[in-house]
Structure formats: C-alpha cells, structure tokens
Chains A and B, each alone.
Chain A
Amino acid sequence: MTKLNRWSNIFNWLAVIALAINLLMVFFYAPVELTMGNVQRIFYFHVGSAWVGAVTLGIALICGVLYLYRPKPLYDILGMASVEIGVVFVTMTIVAGSVWGRPAWNTWWTWSPRLTSITVMWLVYVAYFMLRGAVEDEQKRARFAAVYVIAAFITVIMTYVSIRLLRDIHPVVFGDAVEGVQAGAEGLQEFSGVDSIRMVLTLNVSVVAFSLLYVAWLLNRYRLQLLINRANMLKARVAARMQGDSLSVADAEEMRPATTD
C-alpha cells in the first residue's frame, strides 16, 4: 500500500508537469495554423485524448482477457478503472472535437459515420457500468464485465476502421502518406517545414502527457478501490460482531468443533 501511494504520488506530479508543459507548447510553441487559425490548437487536445482513450480501452480489453484466463481481482479493478478513464478521454475527445467542428464545419455536431460511431462507442462503455451495477455477486460481476469489455472492443475497432472505409467529413490524422495528403486537403495545414515539425512535436508531447495522466489516474483509482474493499470488509466484520455471529467473515478458523462426542 505504501509503495502504491508513493508511485501514485510520483505519477500525479509527472502528469501535472507534463500537462503544464503541453499546455505551454500548445499555446506558445505550436505555430498558428493557416486555414483554421488559433482554433486549431484544440486539435492537440482532441487527438491526444482520442489516442490515449483508444489505448486505455485496449488495456481494458487486455485486463478482461487476463481476468478470464486467471480470475484475479487485480485485473478486474484495473479493467474497470481503465474503462472509467477511457470514458473520460472519449468524452473529452467528443467535446473538443465539437468545439473544433463549430468553426471548421460550421456546426457543433453532424452525424457523419465517424462521429456517430464514436458516440456509439461512448454509449457502449457507459453501458458497461449499467451491467456492473446490476450484478451483486463480485465474481460474477467481474466475469461479466470481462466478457462485455471483450465484445465492446469490437465497437472500438469498428470506429477506427470505419473512417478508412466509409466516406466521411472527418479528417484522417494517423495513416499513410496518401491519407495524410487528403487530410491536408481537407482543412489541416500541410505538414511541411519547421512549422510542421513543431506541430508534430506538440502532438507527441500531448500524447505523452495524456498517457501520464492515464497512469496517474489508474494508480489513484486502484488505491481508491483497495480502500473501498478494506472499508467493506471492516463493515462486514463489525456487522458480524454485532450479530454475535462468530462464524462470518474471516473467523472461519475459530469455528468450534462439534460437541456431540
């Protein structure tokens, strides 16, 4: 526990520092984009959170697979925490994208395939908590959550594949050269010269900063869950004491032998 405390503190500070550097770079280091102007700066926030969000949900998937393979509570907690954080990142992506869309497409929202599928993805992961909330038994809850997260990841794949296959208004940022040129044509500044290096660097720092934020949140969430578990156990123990039920909770060892002989 103390080791965990230390690590979460370290990552809390790392995340704060990285985000501060990132913010400074977004506003003072990255160049003003030609067509969009200053509004484009939200793009670093948007892409950073989208990228880290997808990775986070991928980690939730891995935790789910690991849990089914070997049902340890650790995997369940990490999986749940990753989904929670992933939902926050996806929400940030949608909000930032919407703010960007207003000047770029002249509307806050449009039902293009990419925007629709990320909304669907968001709904799928919010429903994850509905499922968890409906199962009382801990092991069953963890098992169902693991199965659900595996099925849910299909929507993540579909979201990130659909943009490649369906015609869309949304620009492609990560991709091959042809798509990069398309993206340039569709409104983002052509990546060329010093400006483009500065943009790419800022974007990379965003991704790193958000990744550190993810690790910090994950550790904090894990610590919180351990505390919740401990509180629950103490509560159960107190309840058992008050009922005079010496058998419950962790007192199995103290059980009295049968007195018939």
Chain B
Amino acid sequence: MNLPAELDELFSAARHGGLAWRTLLKPGDWLLLALALAAVAASYPLLWRGGSADRAIVKRDGAVLIELALNAPRKVEVMGALGPTLIEIAPGRARVLADPGPRQYCVQQGWLTRANAVAICAPSHITLQLSGPQSSYDSLNY
C-alpha cells in the first residue's frame, strides 16, 4: 500500500521502536504535567460543588420573609396571601409541608435538595428557594 510520505514516516517511526518514552520528557515537561494534574484534580471539587445547599430563603411577593440555615430540623410557619404556609427544614434540604393553595403544586414538589431549587406557592405569593455556598445563576432569575 502506498501511504503519503508523512503517514509513512509516522508508521516507520512506530515500527522501528523509537526511544523509551520516559527519555522524551524533559524536566519542564514533568513540572507542567504535575501542574496540569493538580489543576485538573482541583477543578472537580471546585466546579462540581455547586449542588449542595446550605440556606433556605422564604419570600413573599419577592421580599425576603425569613432565611433559614439547613443544619437542624425545624418547622417554620410564614403568613402568605391565603393564610399560613408551613415550611419544613431538615439537614441539607427543605420543603413546603402545607399550604392553603388550591392545587398544592409547591407541596407536591417535595424535598428541595440542590442549590437554587425553588418551590413556588403562587396563590399564597410564597416562594421557597435553596441557596448554596456561592450564589450562581438559576433558570428563573437569569
């Protein structure tokens, strides 16, 4: 088979064994390789941490009613447009336990666990939102 000169050159180098791989790395190569490895390893926790939430924010008509830390279980009642809405907090998660709204969408949503997750009780004008260690964009506000 006739290969182009360049590819033939590639394959002939491979066929003839060549040099030991480790002799091809210079000191700076090792240094850069180590730096790159460290940077890649660091990028995982840095960029994939966003999931966990540490605070729940309850708003009525966009104004913050109360901010709750997600570190101990508790239940909080806030007053919405239709009456009291019950928020339940557990370590790392939160939910709307009861709401006087007719369709109960925010209650049926269940536990919120991720940062920037939102449950909206529209008839009551109440929103429950989780927030993470660093604020990032969510699909509602961005």
- The reply to whether chain A is a binding partner of chain B is no
Binding site for B on A (CB under 8 A): none
| Chain B interface (Cβ < 8 Å from any Cβ of A) | none
